[in-house]
Amino acid sequence: MAKKSKSELAAEAKEAATIIAAARKIRHNFALFHGKDDLIFKAHKSKNKSACRKMAKDDGAGAKGAVGALEVDGKIANLIVEDPDSTPANFAKTFRKYLSARGLKMQVRLLSEEGDVIDDGEEEAEEAASDAPPELGDDIEQVLEKIAARFDAMKTPLVRSLNSAPTEYRDKIVKAVELYKKAMKAKSPDTALKALAAVNKLVMATPSPVRITDRLSRAGDDPEALGKLDSMVKTCAAQVTSDPAFMDRAFPEMRDMRKALKTAMNKKPPPSNLAELKAMKEALDTMFFDHVDKPPRAHGPECHGPGLTIPQQEDRILKKKNPRTGQKFKGKPVHKASNFLDKAAFVESQMALRTQALDHIDDNGIKPPPKGAKPVRLPPMQAKLVDVLGANWKTSVQGVKRKKKKGQKDTCVDATWGPNSNCKAIYDLLDDGTLRLVTLYPNPIA
């Protein structure tokens, strides 16, 4: 992180102090985002949240952050965030440090719009209920006090989970909390500890972007620690099933999880741990693949995904048959037909080209179309297969091409996969700012 000059810090300190002083008198709207080198903080008493966000973006704000309302009571700054689910972990603590570096000693809290504290500026407790149980020799009131302290340490992540979890999953958390409270009222420490452990397990596995980022940051690149994310992967799968839009909201975080698992697998962990990591990555590959394997996103997986055979690809060329449905397609005949042999190769290519598409949008300042308008078609994205899939890329693709013989019926021969063979993708930018995959395929080049 680049160190700011004294004059830069002084200017920011003056601006922040002015905002804090004004917010003690009247509620402000704010935008607070991570920038390249530091936080970007903008607030105004009359401009709306979108305007504050734009001011922050104009100053170099990135994608991670929050917008909402700022209320200041003495030395307490309350940030009432619009979307708790996407607010970065430990964001209150980060903002407190930002203010402190500018001479403002404040307590910072992040609140939901309902007034619940989702981040009180302290580090979140990780697996608080899994510690050794309190000494049974203690007085029962002392034991219950220790258990209650553990529950209090979990309140920030608990509220985050209740704000972001899908309905069915949230109901499980509520039920576990109720069991804990009932056991505490009955002064039954053993039952309270079991209920608290259940609450903790559910909270730690809540499928939300901020929780995924938090767990990944704690696990780092340790294969054993990453192996403990298996329950989160399972709950993410359940969330994607019940709410397909979750995949778009959490795409960067789930991509980071997949990348972390790949890195951990390359460290050659013990066989049992390796098998666990592989299973988790395969589950993520299935989620990413299934997300595009549905109308109106079906062409890539349908004609270029795993499970297709060479005879099916030949029929696509010679008989204009859709490989999956067997129905004839309209339009011009194709002269090459190819597909990825496994979901992992398809997903790996999708990841690389989707990132390229997002960079293209940012670099060219492309805006989403108006609501209800036709999507913006992006130019084809492409990358060499060897760069995306590695040295053994040829084991992940197959294809055929048309061979014409004068006076004879056309036939097909194996495609030639030279070193410049690539993967190509076409995307549409939708009115909600998300990308829709139109097609993705491996492209054989002699």
* DSSP string over 19-63: HHHHHTTS-EEEEEEE-SSSEEEEEESSS-HHHHHHHHHHTT--S
CB of 153 within 8 A of CB of 128?
Answer: yes
What pLDDT score was predicted for residue 391?
Answer: 95
**What integer pLDDT is reported at residue 1 of this predicted model?**
46
- How far is residue 211's CA from residue 184's CA, in Å, rounded to a whole number? 28
- Is the torsion defined by CA of 373, 352, 54, 91 positive or negative? positive
Give the CATH number of domain 6-119.
3.50.20
Contact (CB, 8 A) for 110 and 92: yes
What residue ranges do the domains of the chain occupy? 6-119, 128-204, 304-446
Give SS3 for 405: coil
Query: How far, in Å, CA of 386 to CA of 398, rounded?
Result: 14
Per-residue model confidence (pLDDT) at position 130:
47
Residues of the chain with pLDDT under 70: 1-3, 121-138, 295-298, 407
Q: Are strands 76-81 and 107-111 parallel, antiparallel or unpaired?
A: parallel
Cβ burial of 332 (10 Å; 0-12, 13-18, 19+) is exposed
pLDDT of residue 249: 79
> Which residues, listed in sequence order, are joined to residue 93 by a DSSP beta bridge?
none
Specify the residue for token string 């995959």: 437
Integer Rg of the chain from CA: 26
SS3 call for 245: helix
Residues in a beta bridge with 117: 111
pLDDT for 444 equals 96
In single-letter form, the type of residue at position 150 comes to R
**Cα distance between residue 102 and residue 104, in whole Å:** 6
Whether pTM > 0.85 for this model: the answer is no
Backbone angles phi, psi at 409, to 5 degrees: -70, 145
pLDDT at 345: 96
> What is d(CA 243, CA 166) in angstroms, rounded to the nearest whole number?
8
Comparing C-alpha atoms, which of 67, 66, 74 is closest to residue 25?
A: 74
d(C-alpha 154, C-alpha 99), whole Å: 26
Residues 6+ apart with CB under 8 A from 374: none
Span 311-341, pLDDT tens digits: 999 999 999 998 878 888 888 888 999 999 9
Beta strand 411-414 pairing with 397-403: antiparallel
Q: Is the peptide bond before 375 cis (omega within 30 degrees of 0)?
A: no
Q: Which residues pair with 423 in a beta bridge?
A: 383, 442
**Local structure of 404: helix, strand or coil:** coil
Decide if 23 contacts 70 (C-beta within 8 A): yes
Please, which residues bridge with residue 321 across strands? 328
Position 109 scores a pLDDT of 87
Alpha helix stretches (DSSP H) within 293-342: 299-304, 310-318
